[in-house]
Structure 1
Amino acid sequence: MRPTMKDVATAAGVALKTVSRVVNGEPGVRPATAERVRAAIERLGYSRNESARVLRRGRTATIGLVIEDVADPFYAGLSRAVEDVVIGHGCLLLSGSSGEQPGRERELVETFCARRVDGLVIVPAGDDHGYLRPELAAGTKVAFADRPPGAGFDADTVLADNAGGAEQAVRHLLGHGHHRIAFLGDDPAIYTAAERHRGYRDALGGLYDPRLVAMRPPAPGTARADLERMFALDRPPTALFTGNGRCTVAALRALGGREVALVGFDDFELADLLRPGVTVVAQDPAWMGRVAAELLFRRLRGDGGPPEHIQLPVRLIPRGSGELPPRAP
């Protein structure tokens, strides 16, 4: 049977309150007494039951996480980081994938709230989060990651520097002599895709050509068709910027060994082992997940300050593909 705090008090010959103070790191216990309590804790193998503790405070010790797709390496990394923080706070994580469907996002959130989760970390698929207002009024805390909530809904939000990273990628290609730079991006309705397109366009300025832009859900077949159309232009691209890891992989498959300078947004497994290695703008999904989860727990501890909007930096990693010179088609 699991030892209780009362068992520790009996073994150490102290009051239950004294054990509670030692376990919770509170002052007011003499060093010798505290040492006797710690010895009893070690001898009995006592560990604090965090779930019971938070339940006594009117909480359920559960957090809900809604991401786009658990199979996506980016969201897998974010999810694992959130889980580590949640477990570190003695809580349980419930998670689900929205599949970029606003209705599925709302369904997951409402299901989690029906189970009385204490807080939510959401990668939003939709742009209307008014449905969350009753949950917030009931005391549920929320933090958004990777994308902001819909207009008119303000909450703690952790984003990457999407536009700035895209600008950095395009300026890198411009610096290596490229003036015809194509962009393969995800669905423009997605916040991150739109922001990366904005950075791409801002970096090109007067060199921007809408014929060199294709934005839709990434797939090898569509990437191949888009690239073939671009390469058939009178002035085809000599370089390519891809809007996320899936777009990069789809483009590499579609290129089939054709040598085109390439910079992708998001690092991906084996990118450094290809020849040439793939130059990327890397963000840190684990960092994003940790920051969002810690913001959430800060709110759960009673922080009532205004919502925070955190933008995490990204970095360009040159590996060879983004440094290729322009070549005639």
Structure 2
Amino acid sequence: MADVAAEAHVSVKTVSRVVNHEPGVRPDTAERVRAVIERLGFRRHDGARLMRQGRTFTIALVVEDLANPFYSQIGAAVEREARIRQHQLITASAEGSPSRERAVIEALVGRRVDGIVVVPADESASSDAVLEASHTPIVYMDRPVRGTPRDTVLSDNQGGIRSAVEHLVAHGHRNIAFYGDDPAFWTARQRRDAFVATHEGLGLPSSPRVSMGPHTVGSVRETLIPWSAGPEPISAVITGNNRITLAVLLALRELRLPLSLVGFDDFELAALIDPPVTVVHQDPAAMGQKAAQQLFARLLGDESPAQTVVMPTRLIVRASGLRRAPLGR
């Protein structure tokens, strides 16, 4: 900036006013300064300006797995909201590790991001002390945390699983199994508990058959074999997320079992599989949008009590919930 001032024969303050579009500079002087700026290739140092303002105009998103389509849709929605408000988005993965999540959040706070949206690795608010000290707003997504109340955006896990069970029962299924994720996850427990409660509430004849993960094709196969045999074989399966749905589909194909299926989470190509897969659709884009909007409300000074928003799910009926005839050998 000093070089521009010397070349244009003005003060550094005058150059600053021109660069920042401030009043108080004569038009001919401003034109001369802009010409020198263009000739010298000067660029404003946004970082220094923002630091003086106490803002960096960046927000962050911390998720479990950047490769999972569920989280990529969340990321796209948060980025759109940030872009609308002329903010940059930093995205990071905690890889399901509470210690890594803590390190990532502390690093982001150290970089002075204005706010953070987090899909927490577990229910312990491991970075509360850091966040409190920095006054960095945070919004949790998909899973709540214990400790200091924070804005949280959740999906209607119970309602989604209930709709899956009721759909299968309406098509004549009475012996239904549930494959859930690792019970260390709050969402996995919520969906498992909803399955058991709905199963018992509808008075289905057999006891609820539940297998919690983490799952592989092999672990699914090990339980499908005994559950699909005997005097009360299962006729349908409900899965707790898109990764488990894929494992179940592969196991069913290997075992040539004609079981019906409803998956929690829609996934790419679900409508092209034979039969097309009925799913409980969460709306990750709407969840990400809501979380980002709540974060920006806090950045604009909203000091109302922390709120929890539960986003609705929707059953997308295709064909996999119908009773199926045995496969030919």
Same fold (TM over 0.5): yes
CA apart distance, 1:12:
6.8
Within 1, Cα distance between the matches of 2:300 and 2:47?
15
Which structure has the larger Rg? Answer: 2
| Pairing 1:224–2:239 present | no
Aligned to 1:241: 238
Partner of 2:82: 86
Offset, 1:220:
1.5
Equivalence for 1:67: 63
Report whether the alignment pairs 1:181 with 2:176.
Answer: yes
| 1:111 match | 107
TM-aligned CA distance change 1:225 to 1:305, over 3 Å: same
1:122 counterpart residue number: 118
**Do structure 1's residue 293 and structure 2's residue 292 form an aligned pair?**
yes
Give unmatched runs, 5+ long, in structure 2.
5-14, 31-43
Q: Which moved more, 1:122-131 or 1:159-168?
A: 122-131
Q: 1:50 to 1:104 in 2, by over 3 A?
A: same
Letter in 2 for 1:229: P
Q: Describe how 1:1-329 pairs up with structure 2 within 5 A.
A: 4-6=19-21, 55-149=51-145, 151-205=146-200, 206-207=203-204, 212-256=209-253, 257-324=256-323
Whether the 8 Å contact between 2:153 and 2:311 is mirrored in structure 1 is yes
Aligned counterparts of 2:179 and 2:207: Cα–Cα separation in 1: 11
Could you give the per-residue CA deviations for residues 225-249 of structure 1, whole angstroms, max 9, x where no partner exists?
Answer: 2212322343110011011111111
TM-score by length of 1: 0.82
Between the two proteins, what is the percent identity of the paired residues? 43
How far the C-alpha of 1:97 sits from its partner, in A, is 1.3
Task: Tell me how many residue pairs correspond in the alignment.
Answer: 295
Please list every run of 5 or more consecutive structure 1 residues that lacks an aligned counterpart in the other structure: 16-47
CA apart distance, 1:51? 6.9
SS in 1 for 2:190: helix
Q: Is the 8 A contact 2:98 2:126 kept in 1?
A: no
Give the 4+ runs in structure 1 shifted more than 2 A: 1-13, 48-57, 206-211, 323-328
String of CA shifts for 1:16-57, please: whole Å, max 9, x gaps.
xxxxxxxxxxxxxxxxxxxxxxxxxxxxxxxx9987775443
For the residues of structure 2 that align with 1:125 and 1:176, how far apart are their CA atoms? 37
The verdict on how the C-alpha distance between 1:239 and 1:289 changes in structure 2, with shifts beyond 3 A counting, is same
Q: Counterpart of 1:84 in structure 2: which amino acid?
A: R
> Deviations 1:233-288 (Å, cap 9, x if unpaired)?
43110011011111111100000053211111100000001121100110111110
Say whether the 8 Å CA contact 1:238–1:326 is kept in structure 2: no
Partner Cα separation in structure 2 for residue 298 and residue 278 of structure 1: 38
Q: 1:202 Cα shift?
A: 1.5
Q: Which amino acid aligns with 1:311?
A: V
The aligned counterpart of 2:9 is none
Quote the offset at 1:298 in angstroms.
Answer: 0.6
Distance 1:322 1:136, change over 3 A: same
**Contact 2:141–2:153 at 8 Å: present in 1 too?**
yes
- Give the residue type in structure 2 aligned to 1:297: F
TM-score of the two chains, using structure 2 as the length reference: 0.82
Is the CA contact 1:265–1:280 (under 8 Å) kept in the aligned structure 2? yes
Q: In structure 2, what is the Cα distance between the partners aligned to 1:76 and 1:291?
A: 15
For 1:229 and 1:164, the matched residues in 2 are separated by 29
User: By how many angstroms is 1:136 displaced?
Assistant: 2.6
Distance between the aligned counterparts of 1:49 and 1:245, measured in 2?
Answer: 45
DSSP 3-state at the match of 2:138: strand
In structure 1, how many angstroms separate the alpha carbons of the residues matched to 2:163 and 2:251? 24
CA distance in 1, matches of 2:164, 2:46: 46
What is the rounded CA distance, in whole Å, between the counterparts of 1:115 and 1:260 in structure 2? Answer: 51
Query: 1:104 corresponds to which letter in structure 2?
Result: R
1:4 is displaced (CA, Å) by 2.9
Aligned-partner Cα distance in 2 for 1:134–1:185 = 33
CA contact (8 A) 2:109 2:131 kept: yes
Secondary structure in structure 1 of the residue aligned to 2:21:
helix
